Amino acid sequence: MKLKILKGTSEIGGCITEIVSNKGTRIIIDLGEDLPDDNVSKCENPNIDGLTIGDKKYDAVFITHSHGDHIGLINYVLDGIDVYVEPTSKIIYSLLSTFTHKKIRFKTKNMFFKKKIIINDDIIVTPYIVDHSSYNSSMLLIEADGKKVLHTGDFRNHGVKGKLFVPTLKEIGNVDIIVTEGTSLSRGNVKYKTEEDIVKEAKRVFYNYDQVFILQSSTNIDRIRGFYKAAKETDKNFIEDLFTSNITVSLKNDSIPNPKTFNDVYTWIPRRYLDKSFRFKKKYLFPFLKYSKQKSYVNNKYALMVKTSMIEDIKKLYNKNHITNACLVYSMWEGYKEKVEMKTFFEEVKKYRISDIIDIHTSGHADKETLGLLSFLKAKKIIPIHTIKKEELSNILDNVYLLDDNEILDV
C-alpha cells in the first residue's frame, strides 16, 4: 500500500491523506478547507485530479469529523465517489452550511463506529469514536495488503470521552503506521485542563455575575453541557442562540441540553434571522419560536450563548435593562482573538455594560503527554500532520517519520 499526505504535513488547516492499495483501490481521508482568515473563506476547489476534477480515479472518501478543516471541501467530490461520514457529524455540517450560506451538494453514506466498511473487497476501514471538541469524532483504522494504518483525525483525552482513549488503543492493537495530528507540538509543554476543570472554573465565574454571555463553538457539545451545568448551579436560565438550538435538537440525544426536551433551556432568535427567506424560517426558525417566548431572561439571571454577529441583540437586552452585572466568557482558541471581527465585538460589548471578558477554555487537541500514549500501538512509523512543528514529535515518540506534502511512502 502507498500513503501520501496531499496536504497537512506543515500546517494546522485543511488535511487530505491518500491511501492506495497494491491492487489500485484509492481512498482519501479528510478533505478539509483551510481555516478562514477574518472570514475570508478558503473553500476553493483543491483541483485534485480524479477526486474533484477530471475523470473519477478514487473509490471513496472518509471524513473523521465535522470541523471545516476536515470536511470543508466535500462539496467538490466528483459524482460516483462514495463519501462516508458519521451521521451526526453530517447533521452538524449540514446545519453549519445552511446557516453560513454555504452551498450543500453532497451525497454521503453513513459511517458507524466499529462497523467495518470494505472498499472493492480490498481496503477495510474501521471507525472508532474518539474524544475531541467536535461531536462524535472518529479515528480510522485502515487495513490493506496485510498492513494496518491508524489515522487519528483530531483527538485528545482530557474531555468527556477521554476515558475511552486508552481502551480504544488497546482494542486497535499493534499497527504498522500511525498518521497523527500534532497541533500541540507548537504550543509549549502544558498539560491541558480537563472539561471537568472547565465546569468548576465556570461555576466560580458564573457565581459572580447575573448575566453571562458565552462565546464558544456551537459544535462543541461537551462545552455546552459544561456551561449548562454551571448555569444551573448558579441559578441562571440557559439560553442557546438559534443555530446552537438547531444543532442540539437535531442530535436527538436527551443528555444534550436542548430547548425541546429540557424545560430549563431556551432559544434566543437573533434579529438578523428575521430577514431570512420563508423557506429557511419555516424549517429552522418557526419551530423554535415556542422556546423563545418564555421571557427566559426576565429575572435578569441568565447565561446566553452568543455569536460575534449578535451585537444588535445584546444592545436590545441592554436597552431593556436586562444587562446589569454581566461578563463575557471567551471559550475558544486564543488565536481567534486576533481576528478583526473578534476585536470589534470585544469593543462593542463594552458599550453595553459588559466590560469583563474572561477566558474559560481548554484545547480540543491532544497534549504532548497524550501523544506519547500512541507508543502503545508499537507502530514502525509515526507521521505527524495538522501541525506547524512536526520535528517536535521525535521528542515524545520513537519511530517518528517526517513526510512533506505529496511525498509517497511505501507502507
Binding site for Zn ion (CB under 5 A): 67, 69, 134, 154
Q: Residue 133: count other Cβ atoms within 10 Å of its Cβ.
A: 25
Q: How far is the CB of 169 from Zn ion (least distance, A)?
A: 19
Nearer to Zn ion, 28 or 314 (CB): 28
Q: How far apart are CA 222 and CA 257, in angstroms?
A: 10
Q: How far is the CB of 155 from Zn ion (least distance, A)?
A: 9
Taken in order 22, 24, 29, 34, is the CA torsion positive or negative?
Answer: positive
Q: How far apart are CA 228 and CA 408, in angstroms?
A: 47
Q: How far is the CB of 240 from Zn ion (least distance, A)?
A: 21
Nearer to Zn ion, 63 or 256 (CB): 63
Q: How far is the CB of 180 from Zn ion (least distance, A)?
A: 12
Nearer to Zn ion, 156 or 236 (CB): 156
Nearer to Zn ion, 131 or 154 (CB): 154
Say if residues 45 and 53 touch (Cβ distance below 8 Å): yes
Nearer to Zn ion, 182 or 270 (CB): 182
Nearer to Zn ion, 182 or 226 (CB): 182
Q: How far is the CB of 283 from Zn ion (least distance, A)?
A: 27
Nearer to Zn ion, 143 or 222 (CB): 222
Nearer to Zn ion, 65 or 322 (CB): 65
Q: How far is the CB of 382 from Zn ion (least distance, A)?
A: 18
| CA-closest candidate to residue 133, choices 108, 116, 153, 113 | 153
Over the chain, what HEC string results? CEEEEEECCCCCCCCEEEEECCCCCEEEEEECCEEEECCEEECCCCCCECCCECCCCCCEEECCCCCHHHHCCHHHCCCCCEEEECHHHHHHHHHHHHHCCCCCCCCCEECCCCCCEEECCCEEEEEEEECCCCCCEEEEEEEECCEEEEECCCCCCCCCCHHHHHHHHHHHCCCCEEEEECHHHHCCCCCCCCHHHHHHHHHHHHHCCCEEEEEECCCCHHHHHHHHHHHHHCCCEEEEEHHHHHHHHHCCCCCCCCCCCCCCEEEECCHHHHHCCHHHHHHHHHHHHHHHCCCCCCCCCEEEEECHHHHHHHHHHHHCCCCCCEEEEEECCHHHHHCHHHHHHHHHHHCCCCCEEEECCCCCCCCHHHHHHHHHHCCCEEEEECCCCHHHHHHCCCCECCCCCCCEEEC
Which amino acid appears at position 213 of this protein? F
Q: How far is the CB of 296 from Zn ion (least distance, A)?
A: 31
Q: How far is the CB of 198 from Zn ion (least distance, A)?
A: 18
Q: How far is the CB of 156 from Zn ion (least distance, A)?
A: 10
Nearer to Zn ion, 67 or 236 (CB): 67
Nearer to Zn ion, 133 or 244 (CB): 133
Supply 306's cell numbers: 452568543
Q: How far is the CB of 133 from Zn ion (least distance, A)?
A: 6
